[in-house]
């Protein structure tokens, strides 16, 4: 399965699709990126006069690229990946740098384990300067 196919199977659409491209794909991890559009709905109120990407949105980007995209790849032969059902089961994320409108982040995900349709990954997001934006663990169930 290639990157375009994986993105096609994601159960999201704009304005809640946070994957622009996948640049590295393997059964042990995945790398992709997303650029934040200055017109995105969440910048209207976070924060007044000084838009900053909310941490929950950064977590969602890491989950979509690092867990859901990797899960679709891992389950491609077992399930109907055209309609995956996904549930976030846990996350622990530390934040280090703010992300502003029009910035791009690259998400790097490394599989910790995948069993009984539960995928747990160590994920990190880097800005274009190579600075660590956030990192942590995200786990989800895929069926």
Q: Residue 48's CB: how many other CB atoms inside 10 A?
A: 7
Give the SS3 label for residue 96. Answer: coil
CA atoms within 13 A on the CB side of 90: 9
Considering its fold, how many domains does the chain have in total?
A: 1
Nearest to 53 by CA among 75, 38, 66, 68: 38
Give yes or no for a contact between 38 and 102, defined as CB atoms under 8 angstroms apart. Answer: yes
Sorted by sequence, the CB contacts under 8 Å of residue 125 that are 6+ apart come out as 58, 61, 62, 105, 106, 107, 108, 132, 133, 134, 135
pLDDT of the chain along its 143 residues, tens only?
Answer: 899 999 998 999 999 999 999 999 999 999 999 999 999 999 998 998 999 999 999 999 999 999 999 999 998 877 555 677 789 999 999 999 999 999 999 999 999 999 998 999 999 999 999 999 999 999 999 87
The pLDDT value recorded for residue 128 is 96
Known catalytic residue at 46: yes
> Which range of residues forms the domain containing residue 92?
3-142
Q: What CATH number does residue 83 fall under?
A: 3.10.129.10
pTM to 2 decimal places:
0.94
Q: Which of 46, 50, 91, 97 is catalytic?
A: 46
The pLDDT value recorded for residue 50 is 94
Phi/psi of residue 67, nearest 5 degrees: -115, -50
Burial class (CB in 10 A: 0-12, 13-18, 19+), 56: exposed
């Amino acid at each position: 399965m290639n990157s375009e196919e994986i993105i096609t199977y994601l159960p999201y659409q704009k304005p809640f699709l946070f994957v622009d491209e996948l640049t590295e794909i393997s059964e042990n991890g995945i790398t992709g990126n997303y650029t934040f559009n200055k017109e995105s709905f969440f910048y209207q109120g976070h924060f007044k006069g000084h838009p900053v990407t909310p941490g929950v949105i950064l977590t969602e980007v890491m989950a979509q690229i690092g867990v859901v995209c990797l899960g679709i790849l891992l389950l491609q032969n077992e399930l109907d990946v055209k309609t995956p059902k996904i549930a976030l089961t846990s996350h622990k994320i530390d934040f280090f740098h703010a992300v502003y409108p029009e910035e791009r982040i690259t998400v790097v995900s490394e599989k910790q384990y995948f069993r009984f349709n539960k995928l747990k990954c160590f994920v990190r997001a880097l800005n274009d300067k190579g600075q660590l934006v956030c990192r942590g663990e995200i786990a989800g169930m895929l069926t």
